[in-house]
A and B are shown apart, each in its own frame.
Chain A
Amino acid sequence: MTEQINQTLAREYEAGFVSDIESDTFEPGLDEDVIRRISALKGEPEWMLEWRLKAYRAWLEMDEPEWAHVSYPKIDYNAISYYSAPKSMADKPKSLDEVDPELIATYEKLGIPLHEQMMLAGVAVDAVFDSVSVVTTFRDKLEEAGVIFCSISEALHKYPELVKKYLGSVVPQRDNYFAALNCAVFTDGSFVYIPKGTRCPMELSTYFRINQQNTGQFERTLIVADEGSYVSYLEGCTAPQRDENQLHAAVVELVALDNAEIKYSTVQNWYPGDEEGRGGIFNFVTKRGICHTSAKISWTQVETGSAVTWKYPSCILKGDNSIGEFYSVALTRGKQQADTGTKMIHLGKNTKSTIISKGISAGRSNNAYRGLVRMTATAEGARNFTQCDSLLIGDQCGAHTFPYVESRNPSAIVEHEATTSKVSDDQMFLCRQRGLDPEKAVSMIVNGFCKEVFKELPMEFAVEAGKLLEISLEGSVG
């Protein structure tokens, strides 16, 4: 059966096409001059350039982390181009009608319709193509509610004070190697501000697409939910199929002020490389949120893509009674490697965190959960519940769990549960005996395994995630 499953897993990557779009792309290489050029192209204020250069100088003195349970060839940071933008974006289109039709077609092919009339679903989208934001939809409606949703480049011009106040406040420039690199060279991403007491009237969504060869994508997302506000934010990503690896080093910062709630959902489907592990995206991402008093941040992620994933969406529970949640499904197949999990740092009193992680390994892949729960001396009455489940498909893959628990407060309670199971021959046979294809059987069993996480996703995304798993598992049984 193992062999059958592996055959089923050999599927096509549906988002693997390349768009024929003329781009202005920097020569590969990284130095201070490149950073100055990025900053100048974006017409950034002086303080922003200084901020970038400070990060770059810090990065030069840092070492690439090696502790993750992944292995990949050394990255040559001078072989990467740090800026690429479609030529048609040079004179900034004012509305959707002025955007290059080829760009619109790219997103439509990916199932992300940007035309307003097609978006009755009520999701506002910011589309980022290589290094720049292409279009942000539903702007007027959001402005009415006082919600700011635009590219971070635009925010730097229009709302410099907000950006300056919060950028780097959760993930400092020196936080880690990839975050420092991002601080130096980030090109675009989304900025969200929800005013006090406002419930964002629609789901906000950013769609990231890497198109150009040999470029890295370094997006920067900053979401600030002011006191008593609520926002649900979705993020999706794809890239063309290429034999070379490409680097994606994003930083996402969430700030939930008193009584605010941020729900951040990701469906990550970067190109995973082929069966032999050629090509694919290196997904080295730093995501972190800070919760002030009685605030709540909930991370939900479905990770099916990328050759190597290194990602730990985390919560700093600073305010009393704040809540952090992490719900994750990570599927690896072929030769994919994932080292993902979360950090819950409990500082405030009566803070609560919940971690539900579902790792699915197939083929010759390796899937690791790495999590830290830290109860500091001030975290009186704090609680954590962690559940890590691993599902193995076939007998050549690996599942690993690295839970770290630090408790400096005797009144804090930490619970950890972990299970490892296999898609058993008995389950497969029961399904097939009732008339189901082996593919359908595997996807049904895997979907059942992930149910606890899927129910946390917004409706449209839950359907997409289910389908994505189905596609990802296609061909896993012959």
Chain B
Amino acid sequence: MLSIKDLYANVEEKQILKGLSLDIKPGEVHAIMGPNGAGKSTMGYVLSGRDGYEVESGSAQLNGVDLLELEAEERARAGLFLAFQYPVEIPGVSNLEFLKAAVDAQRAARGEEAVSSKDFLKMAREACKQVNLPADFLKRGVNEGFSGGEKKRNEIMQMILLQPKLCILDESDSGLDIDALQVVAEGVNSQRDGERSFIVVTHYQRLLDYIKPDYVHVLSEGRIVRSGDASLALELEEQGYAWLKEQRAADETA
């Protein structure tokens, strides 16, 4: 599904990713954890092709397609979805209009016909229900005046409608109370179908109680320094990241 090899990337001429490698098979859920400034969000932006994130070397392929050759919108159409940590507002553009345009664009890219407005409304209402948002959210401006929790649920709603192949959830749990967290997790779990893969970026073990990862990776200074199964997250919760320093010191003396 996703294959990242030895990826080096810069933001404003500062190297953030330093030899990141990661392989994800269809249907897998990978959690990425790590201290602040490790490059977790950068990884999401680099993979999804945000302007200003320059790849220096390395490769990233999604189902054999070289992602790094594609524009941001082409990567989205190839099936890559990023749920934002801080979803931005687009005043005056209704959620429904925005989602319809996105779904139409993605369908057009696949050579499929556009969904009729009526059918789309039905789909969108259904998606709202799944993340516990009232249907009138579809009429409101994109993220306009939404609370933090509503914004995050709105992201998951978009994911449900767009049916991507690979979802990157960038701290979709931050700022959520326990009820909202469960809603987000249920939304994600409902989309696990053995084919769709997920990268779950989080600071806390808590989210992983609800979204069970197949693998947990620790990202530090732009690369993965440790990988394990779900138990690694529990270990991190107990120990924090102090051991990283020791390991680094050991690496340097060696």
A437 at the interface (CB under 8 A from B): yes
A sample of 20 inter-chain contacts (CB < 8 A) reads A426-B86, A429-B50, A432-B49, A433-B48, A433-B82, A434-B105, A434-B106, A435-B102, A435-B105, A437-B105, A440-B105, A444-B90, A444-B93, A444-B101, A445-B93, A448-B91, A448-B92, A448-B93, A450-B92, A451-B92
Q: Among B49, B51, B92, B105, which residue has its beta carbon within 8 angstroms of that of A425? A: B51
Chain A, 419-458, contact with B by CB distance < 8 Å: what is the 0/1 string?
0000011111111111111101000110111111000000
In the bound complex, residues from chain B placing their C-beta under 8 Å from that of A429 are 50-51, 72
Bound together, the chains give a CA A438 to CA B105 distance in angstroms of: 12
In the bound complex, residues from chain A placing their C-beta under 8 Å from that of B162 are 434-435
In the bound complex, residues from chain B placing their C-beta under 8 Å from that of A436 are 73, 101-102, 105
Whether A434 pairs with B76 at a CB distance below 8 angstroms is yes
Q: How far is the CB of B71 from chain A (nearest CB, A)?
A: 7
Asked whether A430 and B105 contact (CB < 8 A) given A1-B51, A435-B73, A451-B92, the answer is: no
B94, closest chain A residue (CB): A448
Chain A, 156-185, contact with B by CB distance < 8 Å: what is the 0/1 string?
000000000000000000000000000000
Closest 10 CB pairs of A and B: A448-B92, A448-B93, A434-B102, A451-B92, A426-B88, A432-B72, A435-B76, A435-B106, A435-B105, A432-B73
In the bound complex, residues from chain B placing their C-beta under 8 Å from that of A449 are 91-92
**B positions within 8 Å CB-CB of A:** 48-52, 71-73, 76-77, 81-82, 84, 86-93, 97-98, 101-102, 105-106, 109, 141-142, 158, 162
Bound together, the chains give a CA A123 to CA B90 distance in angstroms of: 35
Bound together, the chains give a CA A72 to CA B141 distance in angstroms of: 40
**A positions within 8 Å CB-CB of B:** 1, 424-438, 440, 444-445, 447-452
Q: Among B88, B93, B109, which residue has its beta carbon within 8 angstroms of that of A435? A: B109
Bound together, the chains give a CA A431 to CA B49 distance in angstroms of: 12
Whether B73 pairs with A445 at a CB distance below 8 angstroms is no
In the bound complex, residues from chain B placing their C-beta under 8 Å from that of A1 are 51
In the bound complex, residues from chain B placing their C-beta under 8 Å from that of A426 are 86, 88
Q: Among B73, B76, B77, B86, which residue has its beta carbon within 8 angstroms of that of A438? A: B73
In the bound complex, residues from chain A placing their C-beta under 8 Å from that of B72 are 429, 432-433
A441, closest chain B residue (CB): B73
Whether B105 pairs with A444 at a CB distance below 8 angstroms is no
A423, closest chain B residue (CB): B90
Bound together, the chains give a CA A451 to CA B94 distance in angstroms of: 10
Q: How far is the CB of B87 from chain A (nearest CB, A)?
A: 7
Q: Among B50, B88, B97, which residue has its beta carbon within 8 angstroms of that of A424? A: B88
Asked whether A427 and B105 contact (CB < 8 A) given A434-B158, A435-B162, A448-B141, the answer is: no
Q: How far is the CB of B36 from chain A (nearest CB, A)?
A: 20
B103, closest chain A residue (CB): A435
Bound together, the chains give a CA A424 to CA B52 distance in angstroms of: 13
Q: How far is the CB of B35 from chain A (nearest CB, A)?
A: 25
Whether A427 pairs with B76 at a CB distance below 8 angstroms is no
Q: How far is the CB of A359 from chain B (nearest CB, A)?
A: 15
- Max chain B Cβ within 10 angstroms of own Cβ: one of A1, A425, A428, A432: A432
Whether B71 pairs with A440 at a CB distance below 8 angstroms is no
In the bound complex, residues from chain A placing their C-beta under 8 Å from that of B98 are 431, 434, 444
In the bound complex, residues from chain A placing their C-beta under 8 Å from that of B93 are 444-445, 447-448
Q: Among B81, B90, B97, B109, which residue has its beta carbon within 8 angstroms of that of A427? A: B90
B75, closest chain A residue (CB): A433
Whether A433 pairs with B76 at a CB distance below 8 angstroms is yes
A434, closest chain B residue (CB): B102
B108, closest chain A residue (CB): A435
A437, closest chain B residue (CB): B73
Q: How far is the CB of A122 from chain B (nearest CB, A)?
A: 25
In the bound complex, residues from chain A placing their C-beta under 8 Å from that of B51 are 1, 425, 428-429
Bound together, the chains give a CA A362 to CA B162 distance in angstroms of: 32
A428, closest chain B residue (CB): B51
In the bound complex, residues from chain B placing their C-beta under 8 Å from that of A450 are 92
In the bound complex, residues from chain A placing their C-beta under 8 Å from that of B158 are 434
